[in-house]
Amino acid sequence: MSTAAAAPVVELKQITKRFPGIIANDSISLTLRKGEIHALLGENGAGKSTLMNILFGLYQPDEGTIEMNGTPVTIDNPNKAIKYGIGMVHQHFKLVQPFTVTENIILGMEPKKGLNIDYKSASAQVAKLSEQYGLQVNPNSKIQDISVGMQQRVEIMKTLYRGADILIFDEPTAVLTPQEIEELMAIMRRLVAEGKSIILITHKLKEIMEISDRVTIIRRGKVIDTVDTDKTNPSDLAEKMVGRSVSFKIDKDEPNIGQPVLEMNQVRVESKEGVSLLNGLDLVVRAGEVVGIAGVDGNGQTELIEAITGLRKINSGTITLSGRSITNLPTRKIIESGVSHIPEDRHKHGLVLDFSVKENMILETYYKTPYSKGAFLDQRTIGEYAGKLVKDFDVRTPDIETKARSLSGGNQQKAIIAREIDKNPDFLIAAQPTRGLDVGAIEFVHKQLIAQRDQGKAVLLVSFELDEIMNVADRIAVIYGGKIVGEVYPKDTNDQELGLMMAGFIDKGGQKGE
Amino acid sequence: MNKLRKIFTLDSLVVPLVAIVLGLIVGALVMLLGNYNPIEAYSALIKRVVGSPYHVGETIRQVTPLIFTGLAVAFAFRSGMFNIGADGQVLIGMTTATAVSLSLDGVHALVSVPLAVIAGGLAGGCWAAIAGFLKAKRGINEVITTIMLNWVALYFSNYIIRHFFLLKGQNRSEDIQASASMTFLSSIFDNARVHWGTVIALIAAAFFYIYLWKTKQGYEMRAVGFNQHAAEYAGMNVGRNVIKAMFISGVFAGLAGTFEVLGVFHFQSVFAASPGYGFDGIAVALLGMNHPIGVVFAAILYGGLTYGSAGMSFAAGVPPELIKIIIGSIIFFIAAQGIVRFILKPFYLKRKKEKVL
Amino acid sequence: MDVLTLLGQLLNSTLVFSTALIFTALGGIFSERSGVVNIGLEGLMIFGAFAAGVGTYYAQEAGMGSAAPWVGVICAIFVGILGSLIHALASVTFKADQTISGIVINFLAAGLTLFIVKLLFDGSAETPLIKVFHKQAIPLLRDIPIIGEGFFNAYPTTYLALILVAVAFYVLYKTPFGLRLRSVGEYPGAADTLGVNVSRMRYIGVMISGALAGLGGATITLTTTSLFSHNTISGQGYIAIAAMIFGKWNPVGAFGAAMFFGFSQAIRNYVQLFEWSRSIPQEFIFMIPYVLTIIVLVSAVGRASAPSALGTPYDPSKR
């Protein structure tokens, strides 16, 4: 496929985009040839998304030009991009939940019969597209009722319905199982075979090696290199992406496992509507080990954490911490009995963004001495404490009075980790702790988790990144349909087996790690 | 990012000031369109406010309930809620103070007045806490419940006054003997109706500031106000804070009503429609950027304009409704800060350039 | 009076009270379905009631006779749209807090309308009495028991309101415009990336709410009060908001809720007819609709049906 003969369909020439304080894209050039899959590799924050948003008309470049089939064009809104045959499959799906598949696809380009939307012909068109590309999507399902993998296909169909020839996939595999990733790659191959061209934004080397024809690596807004995939290798790509040689293996000793800390026994949780969210879940995490929860988003991970931390009441079952029951205790009691929690969504749960860094550091301890004396806060002690944490955990902030909102994602996460670890918990929950962070910050987080384990703490790591689970966890528990369907050790398993378990095809039962 | 923050803190003072100027300009334009002389009108307004000790005293009287209701709305705002129901809470406070005072007829004022004040404040607080409770327990939007409770308060108050305390043949309660007037100041202010409520209002503003920014309970309340999810995650009881915040907010409003009765009118009318104290409070809170000091100044501005409007009406013939237009415009410019920033843009740019040079 | 006649009359006066609420609640739906909270409905009704009063008066003076109220209606729609543009400008273009912006509308409406009335009518705080609509019976249909008296002997505005319920439903759920409007209220980011202009849709939504709330205000002037004064509109806009929420942001639901509120207004006059009910203090009767609203909110209506993006200004950079 990567014949040099294929003509360029899109050429980005010397694109520069500045935001207040940063240059997101610094004179970036990129050529997409007809019929190729061109990977765009870079860390979080390297400028990949900005570049693609420029191509899709969501941002305007400050300098540089875009050429389509040799002619310079101005793309100043998504409508124009759509007109030029560019389609984007967004990382966070742009789907209206209460609408049907068909409604989502036709929105903005509705077939009409008189004044009405012609739903009949719309559904027929959607069904036809689905068949042509082997997507198996039901046109009349509501988005809120279909799986994440299916939702992504609807995103793809939105671009196809608009006749896109150039498809941009933004981190498409972030939330898929290994099997779903395989299926997605098959779909991408079929698209290319039908004459489409694809830009694949990702930071996953494995996928790039498997599917792309060429790779462009960008770092801090600049193009580092463009190479043919078959003339490179993962470690070379990684070094170009990060700017130094990196090892994705984590140095860690064998775990020194002690007594059970967290024990969950037949935990059941139902939603208000009576839908079963946790379905008789058993889990044990012992002192000195990291247990990784692997699973596809929406299989009960969030509810599992909420059940442990008291944010959600459980309907039946028991949860104990070092032998004492914490079942359905208020959150504060659970925190006080030694649970720390690095939450999944740092903006929603982890921080009060409009509070200063200082105020955020005492979010769970403000009412205790020495931070409060009587009814009043002791500002001085709090300031000293926050200053110490900021220093110890290398949180980069102008000062401790700075609003948490204005910190970078990595530093916000560091602030949370500092606060949670400094409480010296017996049990630490880390949910998606590296989401959206760059490699340096990811390494920092992983080291902290391992250090906690080595100090004899029990650590629960919940992540959608299988690589992270495989590297950091000492034992992996796979969650599917609200229960643990199997437990394995990283050295005894592989992506394929985990993937099948995550999709519910293998049920090994809860082994409690024995 | 840093630059943005600096502009923002500057804005917190500049924007309201510019908005006030713009609002007064809008008022002047409306007057010109109506063939009035804005300069004449505005000077008549000012003359009325500061013209004599009596008028100064009466302006203070006008400002006092606005401080209370402004604090009420601002306090709820800071805790993440929109208390549109200050109006009803004022009425409930008023009615309770009236009922307590009339029931304690003959008891010494040193006993009955404090009792009436405490009862009026608590009653206002409890009334507001209903909306807080419904939000905490059932997740019902407080905007809707407080609006509904305003009417319930209106009719309930009328019921109490008409059935238990009616002055025969009149549409108002009997006269209240116990008074919170500051009679020792009467000579200074030429018998204007100044009362202890003003002092209490300023104390309430101080309490607002200290409670919210210096105590651990206030810390918790602000956390809940900014981000309920994070507060919950951190083990705070969000529901309890919501109820508590509404209660305190309602106490402020209740005190507004209490002092209107005990300090100003010394009786309570049967109201045909909402007296509108609460809606004025919303305006004051927004003008004061939901900060207690801001609220005090905003109340002085709003109260001054309102009291002065009578002078404007008398001297220049301008209908007093103009004040509502001015206040509405000021809030519009504060809410849509983009407009103010747009107008200010050339100035900011100039300043930046100067710094570079 | 026999029961059938009584029921018919009760239904009839329910509709009289409901009509303005139906218009206004429908307007609220268009605004909120596009993602813009509209607490300014009260103010927009004031604008409408005012314009209807003034417009009809001058049309009458110009000798337009029985067509004069229709001129008033058109003025009300026009002024309602103008008022709503202030709300749209602040909350859509300048991303102001939508609730605050709505309150601004209520302030401005209360001030501006009375100011102008005093200007036009020599300092009088109300317009002169004007010609208003009369009930018009529809032949044959009005002979149906209960329903005939209830539905088919009504003001022209009532017929219009009933038709608009169906039209609103059709527009929202069957047309491309409706699909786009709702998508903008649910997930503006999705609509934007498909080339739907979020700001334009929201402007249109808010302007429709202005037109319909204006019509709602006009209805009160032209069927109930016969003039405009400071208390022509006293809270009906807020009740319309409640009706919209009750009705789960759906035109048919809002119609039902508006009928419920209309009914609890109408029943006031009928309670006096019975011996047993006369002993209840009238204040408690007046409270009924408001207390019932709270009770219904407590017992049923989830918030799940509110448009997901309601109240959030759309900021493309935060996509």
Q: pLDDT tens across B296-340, in order?
A: 999 999 999 999 998 888 888 889 899 999 999 999 998 888 777
Give tens-digit pLDDT for A207-256. 899 999 999 999 989 999 999 999 999 888 888 988 887 766 778 888 99
A326 domain-assigned:
yes
Residue of higher predicted confidence among A10 and B189: A10
Co-location of A64 and A175 in the same domain: yes
Q: What is the pLDDT of residue B355?
A: 38
Q: What is the mean pLDDT of chain A?
A: 90
The answer to whether residue A73 is domain-embedded is yes
Confidence at A511, pLDDT banded by 50, 70, 90: very low
Its sign, for the CA torsion C36, C41, C47, C53, is positive
Mean pLDDT for the stretch of residues C64-78: 93
Reduced 3-state DSSP string for A418-464: HHHHHCCCCEEEEECCCCCCCHHHHHHHHHHHHHHHHCCCEEEEECC
In chain B, domain spans: 1-36+318-357, 61-310
Decide which of A460 and A274 is more confident. Answer: A460
Q: Which residues of B touch C108 (CB under 8 A)?
A: 324-325, 328-329, 332
Cβ B229 vs Cβ A349: under 8 Å:
yes
Q: What is the pLDDT of residue B97?
A: 95
User: Is residue A206 scored above 90 in pLDDT?
Assistant: no
Whole domain around residue C211: which residue ranges?
3-133+146-318
Residue where a domain terminates, one of A182, A207, A242? A242
pLDDT in tens, B64-102: 999 999 999 999 999 999 999 999 999 999 999 999 999
Residues A393 and A431 in one domain: no
> What sign has the CA pseudo-torsion A398, A404, A406, A411?
positive
The token pair at A360 is 């955020």
Query: Does the predicted TM-score (pTM) go above 0.90?
Result: no
C140 located within any domain? no
Structure tokens given for A121: 């012909």
User: C10-69 pLDDT, tens per residue?
Assistant: 888 899 999 999 999 999 999 999 999 999 999 999 999 999 999 999 999 998 888 999
Measure the CA–CA gap between B63 and A115, rounded to whole angstroms.
57
pLDDT tens-digit series, residues A88-115: 998 889 999 999 999 999 999 999 998 9
Segment C215-237 shows an average pLDDT of 93
Is 70 exceeded by the pLDDT of residue A423?
yes
Query: Tell me, what's the ipTM?
Result: 0.87
Give the minimum alpha-carbon distance from C186 to chain A in angstroms, rounded to a whole number: 6
Query: How many angstroms separate the CA atoms of A493 and A507, rounded?
Result: 14
In a domain, C139, yes or no: no
Task: Return the ∠ at Cα B253 (arms to B251 and B257), rounded to 5°.
Answer: 110
Kindly determine whether residue A334 and residue B215, on different chains, have CB atoms separated by under 8 Å.
Answer: no
Mean pLDDT of C281-291: 83
Reported as a single tens digit per residue, the pLDDT across C79-137 is 999 999 999 999 999 888 898 899 899 999 999 999 999 999 988 889 999 888 888 88
Give the C-alpha separation, C178 to C176, whole Å. 5
pLDDT surpasses 80 at A163 = yes
d(CA B70, CA A359): 27
CB A460 within 8 A of CB A262: yes
Query: How many domains are there within chain A?
Result: 3
Q: Is residue A349 part of a domain?
A: no
Does B324 contact C108 at a Cβ distance shorter than 8 Å? yes
Q: CA–CA separation, A294 vs A461, rounded Å? A: 9
Residue A322 contacts residue A259 (beta carbons within 8 Å): yes
The residues on B that touch C, with CB distances below 8 Å, are 30, 34, 82, 134, 138-141, 143-145, 147-149, 151-152, 155-156, 158-159, 162-163, 272-274, 279, 282-283, 286, 319, 321-325, 327-329, 331-332, 335-339
Residue A347 lies in a domain: no
Whether A3 is in a domain gets the answer no
**Alpha helices, H only, chain C:** 3-33, 41-61, 68-88, 98-120, 147-151, 156-174, 176-186, 188-193, 198-220, 236-246, 251-271, 282-299
Of C100, C231, C298, the CB nearest to B335: C100
pLDDT at B65: 97
**Residues of A (312-351) whose Cβ lies below 8 Å from B:** 330-336, 341, 343, 348-351
> Is A273 part of any domain?
yes
Q: Which residues pair with A338 in a beta bridge?
A: none
pLDDT category at A339 given cuts 50, 70, 90 is very high
Nearest CA in chain B to C92: B336
Do residues A281 and A483 lie in contact, with contact meaning Cβ atoms separated by under 8 Å?
yes
| Stronger pLDDT, A428 or A498, i.e. the higher one | A428
CB contact under 8 A, A109 and C193: no
Separation CA B137–CA B135 (nearest Å): 6
- CATH assignment of the domain containing A447: 3.40.50.300
Cα distance between residue A58 and residue A74, in whole Å: 12
Among A242, A268, A303, the domain-final residue is A242
**A235 and A283: one domain?**
no
Helices and strands in chain A: count of H runs, count of E runs: 16, 24
Q: Is the pLDDT of residue B357 over 50?
A: no
**CA C127 vs CA A163, A227, C41, C207: distances in Å:** 60, 80, 22, 26
Residue A509 has pLDDT above 70, yes or no: no
Least confident stretch, A56-60, A104-108, B152-156: A56-60
Separation CA A406–CA C113 (nearest Å):
45
Q: Is residue C267 part of a domain?
A: yes
Cβ pair B336:C89 closer than 8 A: yes
Nearest CA in chain C to A155: C190
Is the distance from CB of A320 to CB of A312 less than 8 angstroms?
no
Per-residue pLDDT at C316: 72
**pLDDT for the residue C145:** 78
Q: How confident is the model at residue A438 (pLDDT cuts 50, 70, 90)?
A: confident
> Do the Cβ atoms of A352 and B217 come within 8 Å?
no
Check: CB of residue C19 under 8 Å from CB of residue C217: no
Report the mean per-residue pLDDT for chain B: 88
Give the pLDDT mean for B205-219: 96
Residue A153 domain-assigned (yes or no): yes
For residues A74 and A215, membership in a common domain is answered with: yes
Task: Check if the beta carbon of residue C286 is closer than 8 Å to that of residue C268.
Answer: yes
Contact B324 C107 (CB under 8 A): yes
Look-up of token digits 């606060």? A419
Chain A residues closer than 8 Å to C308 by CB? 97
Query: A423, A445, A469 — which closes off a domain?
Result: A423
The pLDDT, as a whole number, for residue C47 is 98
* CATH of the domain spanning B61-310: 1.10.3470
* Interface size, chain A vs chain B, as Cβ–Cβ contacts under 8 Å: 76
Task: Give how many domains chain C has, as a whole number.
Answer: 1
Give CA–CA dist A86/A32, Å, rounded.
Answer: 12
Cα distance between residue C110 and residue C98, in whole Å: 19
Residue C141 lies in a domain: no
Return d(Cα B121, Cα A186) in angstroms, integer: 70
CB–CB of B232 and A375 under 8 A? no
| Beta strand pairing call for A8-19 and A63-68 | antiparallel
Lowest-confidence segment of A3-7, A420-424, B321-325 by average pLDDT: A3-7
Q: Which chains border A (3 or more CB–CB pairs < 8 Å)?
A: B, C
8 Å CB contact of C95 and B319: no
For residue C234, give the nearest of C27, C45, C54 by alpha carbon: C45
Which chain B residues have a beta carbon less than 8 Å from that of C97? 335
Residue type, B278: G
Count CB-CB contacts under 10 A for residue C131. 18
What pLDDT was estimated at residue C301?
53
Hey, what's the torsion of the CAs at A474, A476, A477, A478, to 10 degrees? Answer: 170
Residue A253 backbone phi and psi in degrees, to 5: -85, 170
- Give the residue from C283, C299, C305 with the most B CB atoms within 10 Å of its CB, the best one to mutate: C283
| Spatial CA neighbour of B99 closest among B247, B244, B203, B254 | B254
Residue to test with chain C: of B69, B92, B147, most C Cβ within 10 A: B147
Of the candidates B316, B282, B302, B311, the one whose C-alpha atom is nearest the C-alpha of residue B24 is B302
Q: What pLDDT score does A248 carry?
A: 65
Tell whether A404 and A459 lie within a shared domain. Answer: no
More confident residue, A313 or C140: A313
CATH of the domain at C41: 1.10.3470
Minimal-distance CA residue of chain B relative to A367: B216
Answer yes or no: are the C-beta atoms of B310 and B51 closer than 8 Å: no
User: What token pair was written down for C309?
Assistant: 């993006």
Q: The domain containing residue A106 runs over which residues?
A: 8-242
Chain A residues in contact with B233 by the CB 8 A cut-off are: 309, 311, 331, 341, 343, 349-350
Of C94, C235, C238, the CB nearest to B339: C94
Helix (H) or strand (E) holding A290: strand A290-294
pLDDT above 90 covers a percentage of chain A that reads 66
Residue pair A266/A281 in contact (Cβ under 8 Å)? The answer is yes
Q: Is A145 found in the same domain as A234?
A: yes
| B8-16 contact pairs (CB < 8 A, 24+) | B11/B337, B11/B341, B12/B289, B14/B340, B14/B344, B15/B333, B15/B334, B15/B337, B15/B340, B15/B341, B16/B287, B16/B289, B16/B294, B16/B334
Task: Answer yes or no: are the C-beta atoms of C27 and C213 closer than 8 Å.
Answer: yes
Distance from C-alpha of B85 to C-alpha of B244, rounded to nearest angstrom:
15
Q: Indicate yes or no: CB of A376 within 8 angstroms of CB of B216.
A: yes
Say if the Cβ atoms of B233 and A331 lie within 8 Å. yes
Give the number of residues written for chain A.
Answer: 514
Model pLDDT, residue A308: 96
